[in-house]
Amino acid sequence: MRKSVKRAYSRYTEEAICLLANLIRSARIEQKLTTQEVADRAGISRSMLQRIEKADLRCQVGAVFEVATIVGVSLFDASQSLTTIRKEINRSKEKLSLLPKTAHKAHKVVDDDF
């Protein structure tokens, strides 16, 4: 079964995606690309691109990133190129390997019995 979902997003998430949407649209127009063209290149429908540029939170993250990449909007801090992003991935893997595998909660020592 599936609980009927009316998801609530934090203000920060909403605005982050709004910014991303605006950046995408700007970049697209600056490069004189039509919605149809970008959609084709990204392998999505024009309606989908419309939703992305309207900051629809429900779009697939892959589609959004793909479009961003196509119009040249960089996604993370230092990840401008494939090379740098790969380095960062490796760093993150190293880091992950040093961390514990699971996140056990600190046991509440119960002394609230009086």
Partner DNA sequence: CTAACATGAGTCATATATAAACCATTTCAT
Partner DNA sequence: ATGAAATGGTTTATATATGACTCATGTTAG
Region of 40 (left: φ > 0; alpha: ψ -120 to 50; beta: rest) is: alpha
Contacts of 58 (CB under 8 A, 6+ apart): 51
> Which DSSP letter does residue 113 get?
-
The minimum distance between CB 56 and its own copies, in angstroms, equals 8
Contacts of 79 (CB under 8 A, 6+ apart): 85, 88
The minimum distance between CB 68 and its own copies, in angstroms, equals 8
The minimum distance between CB 113 and its own copies, in angstroms, equals 25
Query: In whole angstroms, what is the distance from residue 18 CA to residue 16 CA?
Result: 5
Are the beta carbons of 27 and 70 closer than 8 angstroms?
no
The single residue listed with the structure tokens 């230092």 is 78
The minimum distance between CB 14 and its own copies, in angstroms, equals 8
Nearer to DNA, 10 or 83 (CB): 10
Query: Residue count at the site for its own copies (CB under 8 A)?
Result: 61
Contacts to DNA by CB under 7 A: 1-7, 28-29, 34-36, 44-48, 50-51, 53-54, 56, 58-60, 63, 100-107
Contacts to its own copies by CB under 8 A: 7-13, 15-20, 22-23, 25-26, 28-35, 43-44, 57-66, 69-70, 74-77, 79, 82, 85-86, 88-89, 92-93, 95-96, 99-106
